[in-house]
Amino acid sequence: MYDIISIGSATKDVFLISKGFKLIKSKKFKTGVGECFAYGSKVEIGDIYYDTGGGGTNSAWTFANFGLKTSVVSKVGDDIFGLEIMHALSANKINSSNLVMDKSGKTGYSTILITPGGDRTILVYRGVSSSFNEHDFNWSKLKKTKAFYISSLAGNLALLKKIFNFATRNKIKISWNPGSSEIKLGKQKLAGLIKQTANFNVNLEEAKKLTGKKDIKAIFNDLNKIAGKYSFVLVTDGSNGAYLSDGVLIYYVKALKAKVVNTTGAGDAFGSAFTAGLILQNDWDYALRLAVLNSKGVIQQMGAKKGLISKLPNKASLNKIKINII
């Protein structure tokens, strides 16, 4: 029996750090800011770092670090990167028997361009993870868990419905951190799934797109109406902190100050630690504090896993975090 099974992508990541990467404000870019370098030139790379990534493996790392019996459902190519991901999982005591190796394609790959200030742009090749389907799941083995942690599945609504219905039938709790591909499907298509979650987790920009609201109270009013009676809704806001609602009140926790080396994986670190805290102590206050510490750790190191806290924090560390009602 597993404590939790993480379902999501598995990738090979390469981080490129350079003073030649510049941030330029312009309306031509979707976010209003572009990470740029000189056209037609050679750009010197100050440092390079390799790691495994993807929502499936990143979240599983946190669960295993906190002593939870963990497995991963993901899809990689039958190539050197796929083998590397499998070995990395096993080395961290994460069960990889549910990892599918697909001979017809390549493992997902991300190139992360990082400025000296820690800002980053990610170039993503999704590989075989974009073709995830229900035949990649050993459903009988998946019954042997208490919870699922589901991250982005490239917007595959049919697969999501299959997983959620399976979990509900087998009384498996669901924590869901959808990606941009799922958010694009819209609130109407996602509402039935959100209602089945024990914990629904998005960032602020995703919450705004999903609800069409800008004010945080209006956002939670909308999401709480969709979520189940006993569900938690978590909205992260990067370096500004995070918001949590238990369906009645809205709580705010400020991010701890830290020297930012790289923000990749911060969302995975926060959401998975919150879920782990609920499993360990069934206490949202403890879970929210644990999430703050885990995300603080990951942004101070290169990669999406190296900075994750490797053991449960003591009471003094947890008590340094202030939680307020808004």
Residue type, 93: K
pTM of the model: 0.94
Do the beta carbons of residue 29 and residue 86 sit within 8 Å? Answer: no
pLDDT confidence of residue 228: 79
Name the 3-class secondary structure at 56.
helix
pLDDT score, position 131: 87
pLDDT at position 130: 85
- Position 285 scores a pLDDT of 97
Could you state, in order of their start, the residue ranges of all structural domains in the chain? 4-8+53-107+127-325
∠ CA 11-14-20, nearest 5°, is 145
Give the pLDDT confidence of 29-48 residue by residue, as tens digits: 988 999 998 899 999 999 99
Specify the DSSP class assigned to residue 145: B
Query: Residues with Cβ < 8 Å from 83, sequence gap 6 or more?
Result: none
Q: What is the pLDDT at residue 118?
A: 75
pLDDT attached to residue 271 = 97
Q: CB within 8 A of 316, min separation 6: which ones?
A: none
Task: Output the pLDDT for position 42.
Answer: 92
Residues of the chain falling short of pLDDT 50 = none
- Please give the pLDDT value at position 314: 94
Q: Residue 267: its pLDDT value, please?
A: 94
The CATH homologous superfamily to which domain 4-8+53-107+127-325 belongs is: Ribokinase (3.40.1190.20)
